[in-house]
């Protein structure tokens, strides 16, 4: 979900740019945000040698991030919870998504770790496996509120795996 610097479609100038269907483009004039462009061929403004007008883009596609969180259960078993978070940029808040956060994935990592570490320690190992959906819901609710402020929509947050430490797995198999 990283933003990228883009170039115009003519050499030595950024007057015209072809915006792909799956991206949002912001036009910057002398480093200041000017406006957003729609997909297709667009005129961005007068430019001299590519130094007056610049472009910044972010994808409109759904992106998935898998976060691994180490935590401890109520019965003192260490587990690694893997949470898959699917997010995308809200079209009406694309400017916020480009200019408000530097590292979207680090922010999502922090929120997921916070929620998982506040839920799982109140559960036994068996309860943690049984209530993965409750943890997923808690993560999704928190991310939807917090990341919405930065222009992101959370589609789903799923606890895909809950792996206890090796000694516990070995004793369960005996």
pTM confidence score: 0.83
Query: Which pLDDT does position 165 carry in this prediction?
Result: 83
Cβ pair 59, 22 in contact under 8 A:
yes
Spatial distance between the Cα atoms of 104 and 74, rounded to a whole number of angstroms:
31
Proportion of the chain above pLDDT 90, given as a percent: 61
Query: Which pLDDT does position 55 carry in this prediction?
Result: 86
| Chain segment 125-162, per-residue pLDDT in tens | 889 999 999 999 999 999 999 999 999 999 999 999 99
* Span 111-121, average pLDDT: 95
HEC string of 96-108 equals HHHHCCCCHHHHH
Spatial distance between the Cα atoms of 107 and 12, rounded to a whole number of angstroms:
37
Averaged pLDDT of the chain? 88
Query: Which pLDDT does position 173 carry in this prediction?
Result: 64
């Amino acid at each position: 979900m990283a933003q990228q610097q883009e170039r115009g479609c003519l050499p030595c100038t950024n007057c015209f740019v072809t915006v792909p269907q799956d991206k949002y483009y912001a036009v910057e004039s002398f480093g200041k945000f000017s406006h957003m462009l729609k997909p297709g061929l667009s005129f961005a403004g007068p430019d001299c040698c590519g130094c007056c007008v610049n472009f910044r883009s972010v994808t409109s596609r759904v992106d998935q991030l898998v976060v691994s969180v180490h935590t401890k259960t109520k019965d003192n078993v260490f587990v690694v919870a893997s949470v898959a978070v699917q997010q995308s940029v809200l079209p009406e808040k694309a400017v916020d998504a480009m200019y408000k956060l530097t590292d979207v994935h680090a922010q999502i990592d922090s929120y997921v770790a916070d929620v998982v570490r506040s839920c799982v320690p109140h559960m036994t190992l068996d309860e943690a496996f049984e209530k993965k959906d409750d943890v997923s819901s808690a993560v999704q609710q928190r991310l939807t509120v917090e990341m919405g402020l930065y222009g992101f929509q959370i589609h789903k947050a799923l606890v895909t795996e809950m792996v206890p430490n090796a000694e516990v797995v070995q004793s369960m198999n005996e």
